[in-house]
Amino acid sequence: TSFNVPPSGICFVPSGGSIDGGDWSAHYEQTKPYDDESTLPEDMLFSFHTQNYTTKQMFVKAYRYFKSIGFPSLPKTFWTNSHFARVWSRDMICNPPAALDMRDGMDFRVKACAQLGMPDFELAHSLMAQVYYQYLYRQQPLLFREPASSSVSEAIANVFAHLSTNPHYLYSQKLVNSSHLDIKDSLIINRLYKEALENFAKLPFDIVADEWRYEQFEGKIPPGKINDRWWELRTKYEGVRAPQPYNSSNVDALMHSAISQVHSPATRGLISYVVQFQILKAMCPPETVLSEGCILSEDTTEKLRETMMKGSSITWLKALELITGKAELDPTPLLEYFEPLADWLRNTNEIDQTILGWDGDGTLFTAEEIPKPRTGMDGGSGILSEDRVAFPGGVCANGQECLLDSHCNGTICVCNEGLFTLELGSTVNCVPGNPADSGFGDGKGGLVIGLFSSETTSHPEPEPTTTTKAPTTSAKSAAPFFFTASSIIIGITVYLLH
């Protein structure tokens, strides 16, 4: 049996794990270099909970970080006018989170629906960097109260998001313990590999989008060849093809928001990605290993602050020159950042005799030649359909998997041993403690839960909700339910960067 994936040739777009083929991170778990996983996100979340953090306190922590490296104080209105978490009492558009300049020179805000955790801790530092950019150029004439370029602004924000997860910084803030200071090489390579799948693999698409768009604007693409040219460019730069024979009269490019919705050059994302590593390299001490990050100081951010004060009165190349000393894009820091991963890939590909590139003859893999995933994940376990699962109180007589701390007694899903069954209307929940002991009891073994008007009403009180302790007899729990990604058999070897 042959699979429609060649070891050296053009693979079809969905094999990357996303509809546009730009984000390959869906394959991380099955292809990650090492089994080791960092516990940094879990340990940070634990610290947030044990120290009673709120989402606002994550922004306060970011603010104090910026103050410590030479940035000025923000107006008090920043804290009173900003929204750091979802406000359920009003309509609120959560995405995208944003830093807002109200254009009066004093009112600067953040709008975010942040939650406690490492991702939004990074977001807090990213948004604070954008706020400070706006605040520092506030003295400029209104025409110049913009970043030198959206790419520069995004790059600066990404630099501080990256530095916010530096273990030495987190340790100094008492968010992780000292065990995270000794970073294992395997953890660094895994992290870089995941970043490459998420971000680095997208860069060729930015080139495709703009080259195709400008060829179309300039009339270089003959009528009837618009779709053909789109897939020619995607094959040339990305090594992907359409998932099925396409119709030349269609315009598949319009499925991408970068083409149909975002009316600005897509390459600004590529530029931003390259520039962020140039800025990181310029601000970190010379001996810094870029993949590990660094601790900044007031001196190292001086040029950055001076550049931010100029707003859009200078070009983005001039801004880049003021910060880094070079008025040109330089991918060297980016390559330095990914050097540990690149070295590992070179060694592993040589050992495995991996075929690189997509200029082969397109010969397909056979079933015996399919490379095995490098992790112990079992492919093909699939995701159970809705009719194959049941919740507490639900029918499981036909072999459904019982979820949420329940098991099947042969007929319905009942709570596991040691849990209480809480029935609210038609909903059944399994809870660890007896709610009747928490002040809701009616004195008869039931609960009194309802909504009551402050005025006298003729409606009768609701019937108390009953709680029962799950029986202690040995009822075997159902097998744990695991949501795993469907097996995606790919023949272009395990390492998807090539």
- DSSP assigned state of 83: B
Which amino acid is residue 264, in one-letter code? S
Number of domains in the chain: 3
Provide the pLDDT confidence category of residue 257 given band limits of 50, 70 and 90. confident
Top pLDDT among 377 and 327 is at 327
Top pLDDT among 354 and 6 is at 354
Compute the distance between CA of residue 56 and CA of residue 172 in angstroms, rounded to an integer.
19
The string of pLDDT tens digits covering residues 328-346 is 999 999 999 999 999 999 9
Residues 351 and 458 in one domain: no
> Does any domain span residue 296?
yes
pLDDT of residue 429: 86
Tokens of 467: 């709680």
When pLDDT is averaged across residues 227-248 and rounded to a whole number, the result is: 86
pLDDT of residue 422: 84
- DSSP assigned state of 29: H
Q: Which residues pair with 408 in a beta bridge?
A: 413
Compute the distance between CA of residue 265 and CA of residue 135 in angstroms, rounded to an integer.
26
Top pLDDT among 149 and 365 is at 149
pLDDT of residue 449: 58
User: Which segment of 5-19, 288-302, 338-352, 392-406 scores lowest on mean pLDDT?
Assistant: 5-19
Residues 25, 198: contact at Cβ < 8 Å?
yes
- DSSP assigned state of 279: H
The string of pLDDT tens digits covering residues 386-433 is 777 889 998 888 888 898 889 999 889 999 988 888 887 778 888 887
Residues 301, 129: contact at Cβ < 8 Å?
no
pLDDT of residue 445: 61
> Does any domain span residue 72?
yes
pLDDT of residue 30: 83
Compute the distance between CA of residue 228 and CA of residue 474 in angstroms, rounded to an integer.
65
Residues 254, 246: contact at Cβ < 8 Å?
no
Residues 95 and 224 in one domain: no
Tokens of 291: 């993949």
When pLDDT is averaged across residues 16-38 and rounded to a whole number, the result is: 77
> Does any domain span residue 485?
no
Residues 178 and 196 in one domain: no
Residue 238 has pLDDT above 80, yes or no: yes
Residues 334 and 317 in one domain: no
Q: Which ranges of 284-311 would DSSP assign to H, the alpha helix?
A: 302-309
Provide the pLDDT confidence category of residue 441 given band limits of 50, 70 and 90. low
Residues 338 and 250 in one domain: yes
Provide the pLDDT confidence category of residue 373 given band limits of 50, 70 and 90. low
pLDDT of residue 259: 85
pLDDT of residue 245: 77
pLDDT of residue 477: 35
Residues 104 and 174 in one domain: yes
When pLDDT is averaged across residues 131-147 and rounded to a whole number, the result is: 96
Residues 415 and 434 in one domain: yes
Provide the pLDDT confidence category of residue 459 given band limits of 50, 70 and 90. very low
Residues 205 and 179 in one domain: no
The structure tokens 């009492």 sit at: 89
Residue-range definition of the domain harbouring residue 172: 40-183+268-326
When pLDDT is averaged across residues 286-298 and rounded to a whole number, the result is: 90
Query: Does the annotation place 321 within a ligand binding site?
Result: no
Residues 211 and 356 in one domain: yes
Extended beta strands in 340-470, E state: 389-390, 401-402, 406-408, 413-415, 420-424, 427-431, 446-447, 465-469
Top pLDDT among 261 and 466 is at 261
Compute the distance between CA of residue 199 and CA of residue 24 in angstroms, rounded to an integer.
9
